[in-house]
Amino acid sequence: MALATLKDVLAKREDARAVGAFSTYDLFSAQGVIQGAEKENLPVIVMMGAPVLAKPGNEYIAKNLVSLAEEAKVPVVVFLDHAKDYATCLKAMKLGFSAVMIDGSHFSLEENIHLTAKVVETAQHLGISVEGELGALAGLEDGEEVKNSKMTDPTKVRQFVENTGIDALAVSIGNAHGLYKGEPNLNFDTLRQCEQASPIPLVLHGGTGLTQEQFALAVQCGIKKINIGTEIKKSYIEAFVATQGQNPAAYDLIGIPQACKEAVSGVAAEKLRFFAADWAKFIN
Ligand SMILES: [Zn+2]
């Protein structure tokens, strides 16, 4: 019985630590993430992207996530990532998710507020947390490309949070989805201004490819949730290919998924530990 909400797991403002949020795609990636969290005895956020949930039959994976969370030894948030509309959020809420992200960042500020507030109204009745996004991230989100990225405007943060009632806010400060082209360049001044303006925890998307120093500075500046997607996929696929390559004639569909699970577990454990405490070693 460990299904938790964002409110349950995200640290308070004065408590400088972040919780890892990891994209999952099937039973094995989800089990790997939760196993990593149990190994570290830390709370975790297991995410399913809206484009993943939209695939035929994948609502059964969603139901698996909820069951796994309920039986986990640590608090687990089951989180819908980057829903673009109300109906997708409602679908996830009905499936038992404990948190949803409504991403209205492609709309005008007014439209974003309107859509996000509508999701919050429903979610609050059900005790479900909501994450919103202000500014837009570059890159691919589970196969969907964002064409026009824009930085979060710190002067709009308080208005957005107060008019929507969200529990957490994703910011755009130079971070991007997928693999970075060249060195990622984060604007920590903008992040500090957003943090000053925001009465709720801030979220950093696009964690794959950031340096340990950048993660550390982000946590020091007040980031409370860090999303990791690509690194989960990379570890899973690399383990799959390597294990298959060891004995190609075996087509070992019993052993290969277990190897993938272990690889994902290792990534999740290392990141969770870093975001919770180890980051401080990288602050000069
Ligand atoms: Zn994202």
What is the spatial distance between Cα 166 and Cα 25, in angstroms, rounded to a whole number? Answer: 26
**Residues less than 5 Å from ion ligand 1, measured at CB:** 205
- The burial class, CB within 10 Å (0-12 / 13-18 / 19+), for 147 is exposed
Question: What tens digit of pLDDT does each residue of 195-243 get?
Answer: 999 999 999 999 999 999 999 999 999 999 999 999 999 999 999 999 9
**What is the per-residue pLDDT for 53?**
98
Three-state SS at 10: coil
Domains of the chain (ranges; CATH) run 3-282 (3.20.20.70)
- Evaluate whether 26 touches 49 at the Cβ level (below 8 Å): no
**What is the per-residue pLDDT for 150?**
87
Residue-wise pLDDT tens for the chain (284 aa)?
599 999 999 999 999 999 999 999 999 999 999 999 999 999 999 999 999 999 999 999 999 999 999 999 999 999 999 999 999 999 999 999 999 999 999 999 999 999 999 999 999 999 999 999 999 887 766 666 665 678 999 999 999 999 999 999 999 999 999 888 888 899 999 999 999 999 999 999 999 999 999 999 999 999 999 999 999 999 999 999 999 999 999 999 999 999 999 999 999 999 999 999 999 999 87
CA 283 to centroid of ligand 1, rounded, Å: 26
Q: Quick check: is 8 catalytic? A: no
CA 10 to centroid of ligand 1, rounded, Å: 17
Q: Which of 81, 103, 142, 167 is catalytic?
A: 81
- Evaluate whether 210 touches 175 at the Cβ level (below 8 Å): yes
CA 124 to centroid of ligand 1, rounded, Å: 22
- Evaluate whether 131 touches 166 at the Cβ level (below 8 Å): yes
What letter would DSSP give residue 14?
Answer: T
Question: What tens digit of pLDDT does each residue of 129-150 get?
Answer: 999 999 988 776 666 666 567 8
CA 227 to centroid of ligand 1, rounded, Å: 7
**What is the per-residue pLDDT for 18?**
98
Which run of H or of E encompasses 165? Answer: none
**What is the per-residue pLDDT for 284?**
77
Q: How far is CA 242 from CA 36, 51, 246, 266, 271, in A?
A: 21, 28, 6, 16, 23
